[in-house]
Amino acid sequence: METKLDHHKFYVEKNFNQLQIGDYLPNETIHLNNPKVKAHDLIKDHLLLIFYSTDCDACLSSMESLEIFIKKYPGINLSVFLHAETDHLNYFKEVFHKYDKNIFSVSKNMIFKKFHTYGLPRGYSVNCKGQILATNNISDIFWFEELLKPLNKLLNLNERR
């Protein structure tokens, strides 16, 4: 006799451990030509870390909001981990030329498995110790500014809003 759960015997539950507030950003090596950089090397007194992929429609529209955001908050320590073909990466670096040293080409595998980040675009606000203070799906300028809320006191941002 077949039981109710027999049809589940081939089901393997996927475990998506998305980074959450309070977690620490994995200090993974970002492979570059030279030198090798670790994620925590990008942190000063804070870090806004943005994950994008050029094959993600929501990411492409979010990039327009990023442009507005960095004009409004030019002193923010921001890095972008971008999954893209070389020509798209180069174009992205041209558009965001002031941040080109903080734009890194990463694989989807690194985004998903090393940085436990799903549902792109995704942004993280990180403190000086590498702890995540805020995270959200950065679909527009409002959500970029939400990432700044835990950093308001540190960055004296209240007068800019």
Asked if 39 contacts 106 with a C-beta cutoff of 8 angstroms, the reply is no
Q: How many residues does the chain have?
A: 161
* pLDDT tens digit at each of 161 positions of the chain: 555 555 555 555 556 689 999 999 999 988 765 468 899 999 999 999 999 999 999 999 999 999 999 999 988 999 999 999 989 999 999 999 888 889 999 999 999 999 999 999 999 999 999 999 999 999 999 999 999 999 987 787 655 44
List domains and CATH numbers for the chain. 17-153 (3.40.30.10)
pTM for the whole thing?
Answer: 0.85
Per the structure block, which two tokens stand in for 59? 């990411």
| Residue 85 amino acid letter | E
What are the percentages of helix, strand and coil residues in the chain, rounded to 5? 40, 20, 40
Question: What is the Cα–Cα distance from 46 to 78, expressed in whole angstroms?
Answer: 9
Residue 3 — φ and ψ, nearest 5°?
A: -90, 170
Taking the CA atoms of 28, 61, 89 and 16 in sequence, report the sign of the dihedral they define: positive
Q: The tokens 């090393």 sit on which residue?
A: 114
| 140 neighbors 116 (Cβ within 8 angstroms) | no
In sequence order, the β-bridge partners of residue 52 are 82
**Does the N-terminal peptide bond of residue 121 adopt cis geometry, omega within 30 degrees of 0?**
yes
